[in-house]
Amino acid sequence: MELSDLQASPGEWLGGTGPEADIVISSRIRLARNLAGYPFFSTADEQQLGELERMVRERLLNTCVSEGMGYFSMQTMPMLDRQFLVERHLISREHAFGKGARGVGLALDETVSIMVNEEDHLRIQGLCSGLQLREAWERVDAEDTRLESCLEFAFSAQFGYLTVCPTNAGTGLRASVMLHLPALVMTRQIDKVFQAVSKIGLIVRGLYGEGTQASGDFYQISNQSTLGKSETDIIETIEKVIPKIIEYEKTVRNNLMQQKHEVLEDKVWRAYGQLKHARMIASEETMEYLSSVRMGVSLGIIQEVKMDVINELFLFTQPAHLQKQNEIQLDETERDVVRASYIRKRLQGSD
């Protein structure tokens, strides 16, 4: 398996085929695990981390995980390829740009990734398109079972699975849903969502998770802690909240259509016009315009573009993806030119 195998498609999780996919981009389950007999990543020295990474890599490739999974060592991976994996949400920014022996196991369909030596020794992640937290959990649980058959995890009868950060101890499970909420942002009601979810122990993050800002009106909602809660408890809490946010976004969209139709249409068509005719366009500007167009497609304002084309543009216009498609390093200005050209061609081809 090569990274080039991932370039042709955006991955199953961005396919727009899951439930509520017009608002829910993806569902993710992540498990934190550490190996017994090794110090935590935060206290281990380079030799210990190297030994752990080599051992896990061998197990992943030979015995532990599902067939067809590839493995990549971060130390030898070019910076552009690391950014490419971050843009596809297969590894974290910390994992991409950290130091020391690190790696990642990837399923070809991108539904499962296993980060080695991120914050914890292992971060097992499952991704699904749309609102499918339980399906993502089933995938991660299956990989976790395979790994535990050939690796001994650090576990306490009192505290559960032991992790670097105390908030991850217990099940080690972090469940998150990525939502597209342009109407709530447009009407300045998004803060109400933040306040409501924080009261029940959930947290809102940006497009690329912890420490990142919202981009393209995308927000990730996830649990803050795991200790004292079962996997089912965590998933059920989020499953109860997300439909209410979806309904809130849909209600606001419908109200805009009825009460401020001209304002909404103007915003959507201006964004579409910019994307379809611009000769230079920056990444953040692209995300803003694509967000408006995506809402317009969902509401039927724009009917000549399919949703999957817009979903793909969110990914393929990111800096690393543009450069890998063109097989050349580009500076910021060059990327803005190439990005605009790529968008024009994709939108013309969808007419």
Structure tokens at 259: 């009460």
Domain check: are 102 and 218 in the same one?
Answer: yes
Domain check: are 97 and 228 in the same one?
Answer: yes
> In this structure, are residues 168 and 220 in contact, taking their beta carbons and an 8 Å threshold?
no
**pLDDT confidence of residue 255:** 96
| DSSP-derived pairing of the beta strands 173-180 and 122-129 | unpaired
Backbone angles phi, psi at 114, to 5 degrees: -130, 105
- Which domain, by its residues, includes 318? 260-349
- The confidence band for 60, taking pLDDT boundaries of 50, 70 and 90, is confident
Question: Using CA atoms, how far apart are residues 117 and 50, in angstroms rounded to an integer?
Answer: 9
Domain check: are 37 and 111 in the same one?
Answer: yes
Structure tokens at 21: 């996919």
**pLDDT confidence of residue 212:** 47
Question: Using CA atoms, how far apart are residues 17 and 328, in angstroms rounded to an integer?
Answer: 32
Supply the mean pLDDT for the chain.
90
Domain boundary among 223, 252, 281: 252
Check pLDDT > 80 for residue 211. Answer: no
Check pLDDT > 70 for residue 303. Answer: yes
CATH label of the domain that carries residue 73: 3.30.590.10
> In this structure, are residues 66 and 91 in contact, taking their beta carbons and an 8 Å threshold?
no
Question: Using CA atoms, how far apart are residues 14 and 341, in angstroms rounded to an integer?
Answer: 22
pLDDT, tens digit (0-9, with 9 covering 90-100), for 338-347: 999 999 999 9
Q: Which of 341, 326, 345 is nearest to 80 (CA)?
A: 326
- The confidence band for 350, taking pLDDT boundaries of 50, 70 and 90, is low
Question: Using CA atoms, how far apart are residues 157 and 147, in angstroms rounded to an integer?
Answer: 20
Check pLDDT > 70 for residue 66. Answer: no
Structure tokens at 35: 């190996």
Domain check: are 168 and 32 in the same one?
Answer: yes
Sign of the alpha-carbon dihedral angle for 47, 48, 53, 58: positive
pLDDT, tens digit (0-9, with 9 covering 90-100), for 236-249: 999 999 999 999 99
Domain boundary among 252, 269, 285: 252
Domain boundary among 252, 275, 300: 252
Tell if the pTM clears 0.85, that is, is over it. Answer: yes
Reduced to 3 states (helix: H, G, I; strand: E, B; else coil), residue 301 is coil
Domain count, the chain: 2
Check pLDDT > 50 for residue 16. Answer: yes
Domain check: are 342 and 215 in the same one?
Answer: no
Domain check: are 267 and 306 in the same one?
Answer: yes
**pLDDT confidence of residue 49:** 93
What does the DSSP 8-state code read for residue 154? P
pLDDT, tens digit (0-9, with 9 covering 90-100), for 67-85: 678 899 998 999 999 999 9
Percent over 70 (pLDDT), the chain = 95
Mean pLDDT over 175-181 rounds to 95
Domain check: are 112 and 206 in the same one?
Answer: yes
Mean pLDDT over 28-46 rounds to 94
Mean pLDDT over 199-217 rounds to 73
Percent over 90 (pLDDT), the chain = 72
pLDDT, tens digit (0-9, with 9 covering 90-100), for 116-128: 999 999 999 999 9
Question: Using CA atoms, how far apart are residues 322 and 325, in angstroms rounded to an integer?
Answer: 5
**pLDDT confidence of residue 64:** 67
> In this structure, are residues 285 and 51 in contact, taking their beta carbons and an 8 Å threshold?
no
Domain check: are 284 and 140 in the same one?
Answer: no
Domain check: are 72 and 54 in the same one?
Answer: yes
- Specify the higher pLDDT residue, 301 or 4: 301
Report the chain's C-alpha Rg in angstroms.
Answer: 21
Amino acid at 31: L
Q: How far is CA 88 from CA 106, 127, 215, 274, 321, in A?
A: 12, 11, 15, 25, 9
33, 36, 37, 38: CA torsion to nearest 10:
0
